[in-house]
Chain A
Amino acid sequence: MYTQAMDIPDPAQPAPATPDLADPAQLARFEAVLSGGGRIEAQDWMPAAYRKTLLRQISQHAHSEIVGMLPEGNWISRAPSLKRKAILIAKVQDEGGHGLYLYGAAETLGARRADLIDALLAGRAKYSSIFNYPTLGWADVGVIGWLVDGAAIMNQIPLCRCSYGPYARAMIRICKEESFHQRQGYEALLVMMRGTGAQRRMVQDAVDRWWWKCLAMFGPPDADSEHGAQSMRWGIKRMGNDELRQKFIDATVPQAQILGVTLPDPQLKWNDERGHYDHGPIDWEEFRSTLAGDGPCNRERIATRAEAHENGRWVREAALAHARKQQQRAQGAGT
């Protein structure tokens, strides 16, 4: 995806700053590529604001994948069987891989990996609000696969057509892997629903706690969305928040019926005229305060990441020391 190392600024030789005021001919070429449905590649000229918007979105997306490993990672040691444990490890490993693809895409825009990670650990970077809620029971793991990953897939499929090539290619790879995530979650819930009353109550309880948070994952209504319109114009986003949310609800209601759970919204009902399900109001205050850092697990998530990063320091340093030693030996042998 990312043969763009030549674009990554070398701290020893700072790249000349791109002038913010675009050459009109370059801007016209850029606009022509976008309106023709073409793709922008890393070395192509792009407006500074396009680069900045992409960098913000891709890095937030990468951080979300990495932090997203934590709520489910908590259940690896407590999975109910060896089979479920193997599945969960594979899924969490996939999320780590997705984070890496996306950090790679962000780096093609001139960001340094170390800076991106620093921003996350220092609490300066944002990531999906959904990962700041706790996974209280095993059913939560299934619900995350079914609903959280289901919502993520709705968000991500249009991104496979994003105007920025490296991001679109990362998303194609991610979407291929993500479908296993949703199916394994739904299947785990089906098994519980065929079990005891207590198991069925666990599933319903998890659905009750996650449903509204999943609807909020699509972001505020288009009318209030800060960056939405510009991103649509640039082909960074292909569909609006409300449209995607509606698509998700319409797809999920029949799945809930097959599973035998109730979605916790008394206003949820089919609207014949619109050809869609109507739903009740979403609590945007809670979404904003979680995004701003005041959700139930924000501090814990970042602290866990920071500790893992710190615990890995000696490995990173040892690998570098080994590489240097090998290099010196090779040079010594050559002279």
Chain B
Amino acid sequence: MSTPALKDWPLWEVFVRSKQGLEHKHCGSLHAADAAQALRLARDVYTRRQEGVSIWVVPSAAITASNPDDKAELFDPAADKIYRHPSFYDLPDDLGNM
């Protein structure tokens, strides 16, 4: 990340894995001067009650997000493809679980 004129501490997004076997989940953001400090602060701000076993921090500016105006274009096409779901298929009851 290029930070030519840092006036304030930059913003970081924090992701916490709550326990082994689960994914890291976004839980908030914080300001820190660098990645190491962001990790230390995330530990104090977001895991005071054993909420996590692992933390990721990502510079917020490094995240590319989809545009909310594109919501329909991006996500609506999936709405009419109900054959992607198992419940679309009618099968005889005596087949049991499939």
Contact = CB atoms under 8 A, between A and B. Distances in A.
A322 B29 contact: no
B11 A43 contact: no
Given A5-B63, A107-B11, A114-B8, A94 B48 contact: yes
Interface residues of B, number: 29
Of the four ranges (under 10, 10 to 19, 20 to 34, 35 or more), the interface on chain A belongs to 35 or more
B65 A6 contact: yes
B30 A319 contact: no
B43 to A, nearest CB: 12
A104 B9 contact: no
Contacts of A43: 65, 67-68
A4 B13 CA distance: 9
B61 interface: yes
B17 interface: no
A45 B68 contact: yes
Contacts of B6: 320, 323-324
Interface of B: 3, 5-9, 11, 13, 26-34, 37, 44-45, 48-49, 59-61, 63, 65, 67-68
Interface of A: 1-6, 8, 11-12, 41, 43-45, 90, 93-94, 97, 100-101, 104, 107, 112-114, 170, 173, 177, 316, 319-320, 322-324, 326-327
7 contacts: A5-B11, A5-B29, A5-B61, A101-B45, A113-B31, A173-B28, A323-B33
